[in-house]
């Protein structure tokens, strides 16, 4: 089924489907696309691969039901469209999955479900229970009630978070374009398709368009960020054409997608939570020597700290940066106020500050994840 030589047969694949693929703005074309996607999911499952779908399209389908000519601009109207469209979307999926006698389950999420450790674990257990019982999970952001404070913002990021949470082996983002190009192919006819990305760099990030569509959000920039996120956790990613009615070809054939290589070994679940789900409360800036020590697997000591920003407590997640670039995340053993007092000091000096001294390290290596 999956015959790319680079990809070992995955146990679990997360497939994200873009709004434009599912939007009924072109008559009934979306039905054929949904049908092709569902058949591909059925084939993958028959081949022993579990599949989780992350599906956009609620607002677009709600807009069609409500006969709105333009994408809703107000939050309240968008939420109303999402509430109407989510029902329409799930009915479309159910009609297609019924052909293969496969039950489906709906899960609607917000950032809160990822940031809270207990809810994170509950979500993980729910997904595994659904998969073990032959249920295909279909996930979307809870757009009908989400506000800025708890909003994920785009389903590329949501799908990446699901891939990390569920320990997926393969992440696939189906879009209206066959992957990454050297420039925006809709504006530059000379732009060339890039079939494989082995390493992420600033030039690559700068070249990705952030333009969304009339029915979706994001653009290639959000897909690139999502791909980079999962690749840092050791997961293969593919961004490809969901319009060709053959999603398996996106996985297997270079011309239909861009394959992104993992950037390191696969992270364990604790490291994934620290790196990508745990809410960051502040930032610690370190010198070059501290950076080298951390990358080598050492704990962060106060002596290597140059500055601290933000307000956080012991046990909160913080970013670690050097020369303005974040290269690690970790769980702080001291509050921001305490770090401000001990930064740059050696352990022997800190021990004299008995009112809050309790360990030599500011972040232990076991509670730290290197991101670069």
Calculate the CA 74 to chain-centre distance: 26
Calculate the CA 206 to chain-centre distance: 19
- Can you give the residue range of the structural domain that contains 305? 280-370
Residue 211 lies in a domain: yes
Query: Residues 214, 352: one domain?
Result: no
> How many domains, the chain?
2
Query: Residues 73, 105: one domain?
Result: yes
Q: What's the rounded Cα separation, in Å, for the pair 46 and 54?
A: 20
Query: Residues 51, 152: one domain?
Result: yes
Nearest to 291 by CA among 314, 263, 319, 331: 319
Residue 54 lies in a domain: yes
End-of-domain residue from the set 230, 251, 270: 270
The per-residue DSSP string of 289-314 comes to HHHHHHHTTPPEEGGGEEEEEE---T
Instruction: Please report, to the nearest 10 degrees, the dihedral formed by the alpha carbons of residues 49, 6, 170, 156 taken in order.
Output: -150
pLDDT tens-digit profile, the chain (372 residues): 787 888 888 999 999 998 889 888 766 788 999 999 999 999 999 999 999 999 988 888 888 888 888 888 888 888 888 899 999 999 999 999 999 999 999 999 988 888 887 888 899 999 999 999 999 999 998 866 655 544 566 889 999 999 999 999 999 999 888 888 888 887 888 888 999 999 887 656 665 555 544 444 447 888 898 999 999 899 999 999 988 778 899 999 989 999 999 987 888 888 888 888 767 889 999 999 999 999 999 999 999 999 999 999 988 899 999 999 999 999 998 899 999 988 998 877 777 765 666 677 899 998 899 986
Query: Residues 220, 305: one domain?
Result: no
Question: Residue 366 sits in a domain of what CATH number?
Answer: 2.30.130.10
Structure-block tokens of residue 236: 């293969």
């Amino acid at each position: 089924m999956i015959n790319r030589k680079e990809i070992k047969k995955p146990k679990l694949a997360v497939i994200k489907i873009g709004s434009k693929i599912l939007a009924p703005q072109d008559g009934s074309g979306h039905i054929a696309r949904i049908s092709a996607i569902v058949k591909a999911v059925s084939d993958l499952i028959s081949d022993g691969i579990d599949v989780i779908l992350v599906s956009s399209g609620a607002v677009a389908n709600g807009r069609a039901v409500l006969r709105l000519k333009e994408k809703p601009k107000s939050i309240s109207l968008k939420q109303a469209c999402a509430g109407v469209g989510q029902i329409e979307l799930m009915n479309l999926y159910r009609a297609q999955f019924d052909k293969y006698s496969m039950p489906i389950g709906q899960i609607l999420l917000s950032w809160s479900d990822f940031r809270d450790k207990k809810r994170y674990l509950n979500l993980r257990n729910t997904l595994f229970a659904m998969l073990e019982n032959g249920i295909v999970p279909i996930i979307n952001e809870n757009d009908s009630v989400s506000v800025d404070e708890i909003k994920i913002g785009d389903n590329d990021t949501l799908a990446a978070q699901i891939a990390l949470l569920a320990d997926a082996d393969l992440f696939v983002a189906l879009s209206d374009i066959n992957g990454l190009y050297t420039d925006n192919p809709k504006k530059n006819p000379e732009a060339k398709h890039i079939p494989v990305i082995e390493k992420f760099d600033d030039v690559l990030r700068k070249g990705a368009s952030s333009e969304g569509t009339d029915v979706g959000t994001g653009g290639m920039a959000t897909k690139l960020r999502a791909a980079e996120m999962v690749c840092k956790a050791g997961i293969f990613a593919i961004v490809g054409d969901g319009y060709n009615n053959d999603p398996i070809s996106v996985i297997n054939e270079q011309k239909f997608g861009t394959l992104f290589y993992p950037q390191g070994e696969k992270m364990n679940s604790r490291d994934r939570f620290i790196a990508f789900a745990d809410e960051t409360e502040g930032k610690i800036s370190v010198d070059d020597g501290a950076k080298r020590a951390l990358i080598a697997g050492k704990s962060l000591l106060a002596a290597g700290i140059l500055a601290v920003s933000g307000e956080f407590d012991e046990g909160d997640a913080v970013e670690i940066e050097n020369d303005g670039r974040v290269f690690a995340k970790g769980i702080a053993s001291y509050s921001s106020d305490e770090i401000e007092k001990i930064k740059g000091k050696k352990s022997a000096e800190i021990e004299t500050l008995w009112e809050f001294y309790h360990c030599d390290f500011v972040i232990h290596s076991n509670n730290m994840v290197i991101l670069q």
